[in-house]
């Protein structure tokens, strides 16, 4: 191994979705001595990568650092940046490697997955063959996202010895990307002159959910929402303003986190508060099975960097973020998983759901909603923030509006502007067809993408490269059918009828609003396959209003609590995003009250 030239070398680490971190790598006495970020980390995740990861490289004088769980792209960015510095210093990066470079996990599942029939998740209740370490606590929290952090702070305020384990190498989980939180009649709203009747909100949510949920969950959530936000502000979290979330909410109840993300306005402040209160954390630690003795849950077995740990707990809370990155569980809900794009953290693989099922909990997965949207593979779609992309996101081109949706038979099957009632309606009807396609003209595309830089160039490149054979351009409507083997006569009739509806200003099939009816009289024309993009898996495990896990007969499973996206009993099948931020509000509410109720449970143990 050649000796490196001493000096300071400026390099850049590439992160997710085009983000970068400028670094200075200092070599002293021929060794990597210091790696310094040249800007402040914007998230807890970023800070973890460039502190913990850099320390590993320096201590080992080796690029084979352990990828920070849940941050593979940023970890590889750091490794490659330091490798660049080694080159500048006259060294060979291969001399500083002993194993193959870790590759980022795939963002898109191109094939349908198989679902195990009658899976009782027995592996999640098996004790490991050996245990390297044993620890005990009053209250164990599995998952350090929005709910887990809220529950940890509340638990310490209740005086419980509290341990949080987190699969990732950092706190935040899937919650870091959450933009805001629901609240009604908060101080922020009062100062802004905003008022809404709580019963109107509850009534509307019940109506949208077809009255299938236990409305008492909504009453509790809405009634607690202002107190929860006041409590968060006392913990130090930062909220900036309140509105109706881009006009998508029925009421102006959406409270924005500082910086527009919980990773900036919530997570660092709640982690700081946890540290002040003495919450114990074990990061990069995954629960592998649940401990249940004589019908009572008494903790979990977990895999940590130090080996297998048995964690004894008087009460255990599962809040692992739902099933949003598990193709198998998404398929189990009835969704197609072919070409599925993930917007969630790779760690959200349904661990809480599987452990709860192994413990005998009520299975609510098939009735629980997924935050499922549309995207077009040929258009840019890299990264977890696809959902807010100005062209391919959940409020843009694939979401419908003035476009036309057809199925595999060339027929319209839904009001293409259903998103005006609920953004998630854009995908719901597609659960009932084999394939869904979107047809639009250049004029319609220009209308949707008005003001977006290089929008036409992006579309032209997408047609040319055509990832996934998903997007085609033609001069004539009748030529669109051939690309996806659609019945030509049926498709032409569908579009001819639609043009008639547009000209007369009345949709005779689905009553689409007049403002969204645009005749497709002139080309060029485009046809795109609409594939699924999943942001969050919402729910899956049955629980009661105390957030205790329940079995199929609604009996409590002693010692087991559910919070966050693992337990959302107020929803059925569709997330009613018309009450923007309600899922985040539920995360905080369920985390807090699970801790309160666990305290009562522990106090009454023999």
Q: Is 62 exposed, middle or buried (0-12, 13-18, 19+ CB in 10 A)?
A: middle
- Per DSSP, the three-state class of 184 is coil
H or E, element range at 465: helix 455-465
Angle at 537 between CA 533 and CA 540, to 5 degrees: 145
pLDDT score recorded for residue 385: 77
Give the separation between CA 104 and CA 116, rounded to whole angstroms: 27
* pTM of the predicted protein model: 0.87
Rg of the Cα atoms in the chain: 26
Closest CA to 139 of 295, 289, 298: 298
Q: What is the mean pLDDT of the chain?
A: 91
Give the separation between CA 75 and CA 53, rounded to whole angstroms: 7
Backbone angles phi, psi at 436, to 5 degrees: -130, 140
Is the C-alpha dihedral spanning 172, 175, 178, 180 positive or negative? negative
Give the separation between CA 21 and CA 41, rounded to whole angstroms: 8
Is the C-alpha dihedral spanning 563, 565, 566, 567 positive or negative? positive
pLDDT score recorded for residue 107: 67
Closest CA to 384 of 175, 198, 218: 175
Where would I find the H helices in 510-567?
none
pLDDT score recorded for residue 415: 98
Whether the CB-CB separation of 38 and 52 falls below 8 Å is answered with no
pLDDT score recorded for residue 296: 98
Whether the CB-CB separation of 513 and 299 falls below 8 Å is answered with no
Domains annotated for the chain, with CATH where assigned, are 7-95 (3.90.1010.20), 138-368+538-603 (3.50.50.60), 374-534 (3.90.700.10)
Give the separation between CA 142 and CA 307, rounded to whole angstroms: 17
pLDDT score recorded for residue 99: 54
How do beta strands 531-537 and 340-342 pair?
Answer: parallel
| Mean pLDDT, 10 residues at a time, the chain of 606 residues | 85 80 91 90 76 86 73 82 90 78 56 78 94 98 97 98 95 87 92 88 88 94 96 97 85 92 94 98 96 97 96 98 91 92 87 96 93 94 82 94 98 95 90 96 97 96 97 96 97 97 97 96 96 87 98 98 94 81 94 98 91
- Per DSSP, the three-state class of 498 is helix
């Amino acid at each position: 191994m050649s000796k490196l030239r001493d000096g300071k070398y400026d390099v850049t680490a590439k992160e997710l979705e085009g983000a970068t971190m400028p670094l200075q790598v200092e070599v002293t006495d021929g060794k990597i001595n210091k790696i310094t970020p040249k800007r402040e980390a914007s998230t807890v995740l970023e800070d973890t990568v460039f502190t913990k990861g850099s320390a590993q490289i320096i201590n080992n004088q080796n690029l084979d650092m352990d990828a920070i769980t849940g941050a593979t792209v940023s970890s590889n960015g750091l490794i490659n940046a330091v490798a660049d510095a080694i080159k500048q210093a006259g060294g060979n990066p291969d001399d500083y490697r002993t194993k193959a470079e870790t590759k980022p996990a795939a963002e898109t599942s191109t094939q349908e997955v198989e679902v195990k029939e009658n899976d009782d998740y027995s592996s999640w209740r098996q004790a490991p063959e050996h245990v390297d370490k044993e620890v005990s606590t009053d209250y164990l929290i599995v998952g350090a996202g929005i709910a887990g952090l809220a529950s940890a702070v509340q638990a310490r305020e209740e005086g419980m010895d509290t341990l949080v384990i987190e699969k990732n190498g950092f706190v935040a989980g899937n919650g870091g990307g959450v933009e805001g939180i629901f609240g009604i009649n908060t101080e922020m709203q009062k100062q802004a002159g905003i008022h809404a009747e709580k019963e109107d909100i509850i009534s509307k949510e019940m109506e949208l959910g077809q009255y299938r949920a236990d409305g008492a969950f909504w009453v509790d959530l809405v009634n607690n929402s202002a107190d929860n936000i006041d409590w968060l502000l006392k913990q130090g979290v930062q909220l900036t303003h309140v509105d109706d979330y881009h006009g998508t909410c029925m009421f102006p109840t959406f409270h924005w986190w500082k910086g527009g993300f919980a990773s900036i306005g919530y997570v660092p402040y709640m982690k700081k508060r946890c540290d002040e209160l003495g919450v114990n954390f074990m990061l990069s630690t995954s629960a592998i099975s649940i401990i249940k003795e004589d019908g009572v849950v008494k903790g979990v077995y977990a895999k940590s960097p130090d080996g297998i740990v048995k964690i004894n707990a008087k009460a255990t809370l599962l809040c692992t973020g739902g099933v949003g990155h598990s193709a198998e569980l998404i398929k189990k809900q009835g969704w197609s998983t072919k070409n599925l794009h993930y917007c969630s953290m790779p760690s959200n693989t349904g661990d809480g759901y599987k452990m709860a099922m192994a413990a005998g909990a009520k299975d609510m997965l098939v009735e629980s909603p997924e935050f499922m949207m549309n995207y077009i593979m040929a258009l840019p779609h890299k990264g977890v923030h696809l959902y807010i992309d100005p062209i391919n996101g959940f409020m843009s081109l694939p979401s419908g509006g003035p476009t036309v949706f057809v199925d595999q038979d060339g027929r319209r099957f839904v009001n293409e502007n259903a998103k005006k009632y609920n953004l998630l309606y854009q995908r719901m009807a597609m659960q009932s067809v084999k394939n869904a396609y979107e047809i639009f003209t250049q004029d319609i595309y220009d209308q949707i993408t008005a003001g977006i830089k290089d929008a036409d160039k992006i579309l032209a490149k997408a047609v040319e490269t055509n990832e996934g054979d998903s997007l085609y351009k033609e001069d004539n409507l009748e030529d669109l059918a051939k690309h996806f083997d659609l019945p030509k006569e049926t498709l032409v009739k569908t579009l001819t009828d639609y043009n008639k509806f547009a000209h007369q200003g009345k949709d005779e099939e689905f009553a689409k609003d007049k403002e969204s009816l645009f005749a497709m009289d002139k080309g060029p024309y485009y046809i795109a396959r609409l594939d699924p993009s999943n942001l969050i898996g919402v729910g899956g495990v049955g629980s009661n209003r105390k957030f205790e896990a329940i079995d199929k007969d609604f009996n409590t499973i002693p010692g087991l609590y559910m919070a966050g996206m693992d337990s959302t009993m107020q929803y059925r099948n569709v997330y009613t995003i018309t009450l923007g931020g309600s899922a985040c509000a539920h995360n905080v509410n369920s985390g807090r009250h699970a801790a309160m109720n666990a305290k009562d449970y522990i106090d009454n143990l023999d």
